[in-house]
Amino acid sequence: MGRLDRRALVRAVLQDRGELLVVAGLGAPAWDVTDVGDTPCNLPLWGGMGGAAMLGLGLALAQPGRPVLVITGDGEMLMGLGSLATIAVQRPPNLAILVQDNERYGETGMQETHTAHGVDLVAIAEGAGFARTLRIGSEAEVPALRSALHACAGPLFALAKVDDKPLPLVLPPREGAVLQARMRAALGLER
Amino acid sequence: MTTEPVWPDQLYDLLKRHGISQVALVPDAGHARLIRRCLADNAMRVVTLTTEEEGVAMLCGAWMGGAKGVLLMQSSGVGNCINMLSLAIGHRTPLAMLVTMRGDWGEFNPAQVPMGQATRAVLEAMGTLVRRADRDEDVVPTADAMLRLAFNTYRPTATLIGQRVLGAKTFGTE
């Protein structure tokens, strides 16, 4: 399976994003979504490793009318494997998870993660009970992913193998209270 | 003759008054009645977790989306939440935790004591406001105060429900 350019992938996934709310796991996924364009409808995480998918669940349950996409890395997802079971049991129709799997811990020196040794996150998601999973092998498959996540037809787990070439950092705002408050304001929750 | 305590039902009523719609939990016997009440309520989404830290992240997302939640757990689960509490602190998320204590009062199980004794210190080290109730009649007023502190002042708070209130599990030995 070919390896995708992670920035081009995220740019394509977020094209015509409409009502989409995005949670980005710490590290490269947060830089990737910010490279496309910082917006109040993004929550780039700076910490809470292992929590991105569950943060997405809470948001998806609170905002059932809007699609929610969690974009995260393989290392972050491996730290929260239990959350795949929790989410599969809850079956939120509007929650999708996209793992950008470079088989590395990118922020700490490119050490190998378990996915470099055969651990298959798609198989784990299927075993947890995700009825819809996608392996994205080329950019040509991104439109199918985009339509699936906007369809809000049950929780979706997608994974793309991405390359590990170094990229310039594109840092989002760091103040968590600002990131939270601006999304709440965008949702009409702050007066 | 013992009578059923009334505080679990009153705690459920309190959650309703505060408009709680997401209830994240890892079960504890001390929360069993409250959990049953929440499960029977169609306006509450009960989410059973594989580990308590999932609940911290989930309720950060819930608040961002406009929903109020609580995290129910046993004192041992507090240890599983430590780093994830960084999110609630950094985001200024109202995070109300209701913690049933073990390793606290007449405990039988040695494994419960280290985390039970460290619960308050660990929470306070992570910027959480903590109050505890050791009598039945204090449970609901304490929880009410801590929910108000969380949702009015945007921070994690914990209500510790003492093992003296819950009774110690003796594994059939007494």
Give the ipTM.
0.97
Could you tell me if A57 and A95 are in contact, meaning their C-beta atoms sit under 8 angstroms apart? Answer: yes
Q: How many domains does chain A have?
A: 1
Of B66, B69, B83, the CB nearest to A187: B66
At A122, list the tokens.
Answer: 């798609």
pLDDT given for residue A130 in this prediction: 98
Confidence class of residue A49 from pLDDT cuts 50, 70 and 90? very high
Does any CB of chain A come closer than 8 Å to the CB of residue B20?
A: no
How distant is the Cα of B56 from the closest Cα of chain A, in angstroms?
A: 8
Residue whose token pair is 């209500």? B159
Confidence class of residue A191 from pLDDT cuts 50, 70 and 90? low
At B121, list the tokens.
Answer: 């210190």
Rounded to a whole number of angstroms, the CA Rg of chain B reads 15
Beta carbons of A62 and B93 less than 8 Å apart? no
**Minimum Cα–Cα distance from B46: chain A residue:** A90
Domains annotated on chain B, with CATH? 7-166 (3.40.50.970)
Q: Can you say whether residue A27 is alpha, beta or left, with left for phi > 0 and alpha for psi between -120 and 50 degrees?
A: left
CA–CA separation, B25 and A77 (whole Å)? 21
Of A57, A179, A189, the CB nearest to B58: A57
Host domain of residue A61: 6-105+140-185
Q: What share of chain B is helix, strand, coil (3-state, %, to 5)?
A: 50, 20, 30
Helix intervals (H) in B65-155? 75-79, 85-91, 113-125, 136-153
Instruction: Check which CATH number belongs to the domain holding A62 and give it.
Output: 3.40.50.970
Position A1 pLDDT exceeds 60:
no
Position A62 pLDDT exceeds 60:
yes
CA–CA separation, B90 and B93 (whole Å)? 8
Average pLDDT over residues A5-13: 97
Length reported for chain B: 174
At A164, list the tokens.
Answer: 């590990």
Residues in A closer than 8 angstroms to B62, CB to CB, are 58-59, 61-62
Position B168 pLDDT exceeds 80:
no
Residue A116 lies in a domain: no
How distant is the Cα of A184 from the closest Cα of chain B, in angstroms?
A: 6
pTM for the structure as a whole: 0.97
Length reported for chain A: 191
* Percent share of chain A, pLDDT over 70: 99
> What's the Cα-to-Cα distance from B63 to each of A5, A57, A181, B154, B165, rounded to whole Å?
33, 11, 10, 10, 31
User: Measured in Å, how far apart are chain A's first and last C-alpha atoms?
Assistant: 49
Beta carbons of A55 and B48 less than 8 Å apart? no
How distant is the Cα of A134 from the closest Cα of chain B, in angstroms?
A: 24
* Count of pairs with CB atoms under 8 A, one residue in A, one in B: 118
- Strand partners of residue A117: none
How distant is the Cα of B126 from the closest Cα of chain A, in angstroms?
A: 13
Question: For residue B54, what is the enclosing H or E element?
Answer: helix B52-64
Residue A165 lies in a domain: yes
Confidence class of residue B146 from pLDDT cuts 50, 70 and 90? very high
